[in-house]
Amino acid sequence: MTIKLIVLFITLILSVYFDYKYLKIKNFVVYPAILSGLLINLIISGTGGLKDSFFGTIVPFITLFLLYALRFLGAGDVKLFSAIGAIMGVRFGIYCMTYSFLFGAFLALIIMIKRKNFVERFKKLFLYLRDLFILMKFEKYQEFHGEKPGVFRFSYGILGGAIITLIHQLTIGLYIV
């Protein structure tokens, strides 16, 4: 488990750093993490570990593809979730996605209150969802280039979600090999 945690936190710290500095989670961080996760799980748990790691890589891609296509998430965020799933397994990955979205929503709320654009952002989201579901007008929610008042780095939410998942694992007993 120790090697998994080391690889997980190196991946998370590098992802947050590059997301902060360049507004991108770099492929040279997530791809080696995915490969490392697959190899570590194969070595530690054999083919069962490889299978868990493989599904941990695929499930985030499949479940988050629509959010990426609509530009609610960047490609780097989806790949980071895949890396987390590859390293820690599919169950950890699912919990991490859940906690990341909750933690990310909390961070977004704080940012909107600080920027005093809470009403403006919710109006934009409401109109977007109305257009999407009622008018069937499929457009990107936002672009991710440069600083904008509605953009925040979701890698922060992912880091928080991973930490919460680890705390959940240690306190409630989410079983992870």
pLDDT tens by residue, 62-121:
999 988 887 778 899 999 999 999 999 999 999 999 999 999 989 988 888 888 877 887
81 in a domain, yes or no?
yes
15 is a domain residue: yes
Q: Evaluate whether residue 97 is within a structural domain.
A: yes
Contact of 158 with 81, CB cutoff 8 Å: yes
pLDDT attached to residue 150: 53
Q: What is the pTM assigned to this prediction? A: 0.84
For residue range 5-63, list pLDDT tens digits in order. Answer: 999 999 999 999 999 999 899 999 999 999 999 999 999 999 999 999 999 999 999 99
What is the structure's pLDDT at 177? 47
| Domain housing 23 | 2-172
Q: How many domains does the chain divide into?
A: 1
Q: How far is Cα 49 from Cα 44, in angstroms, rounded to an integer?
A: 7
Alpha carbons 41 and 164: distance in angstroms, whole number: 22
Question: What confidence score (pLDDT) does residue 148 get?
Answer: 56
pLDDT tens profile 123-172: 877 777 777 777 666 666 554 455 555 567 899 999 999 999 999 988 88
What's residue 141's pLDDT?
57
Q: Is residue 19 part of a domain?
A: yes
Specify if 107 maps to a domain.
Answer: yes
Residue 27 in any domain: the answer is yes
Q: Domain for residue 177, yes or no? A: no
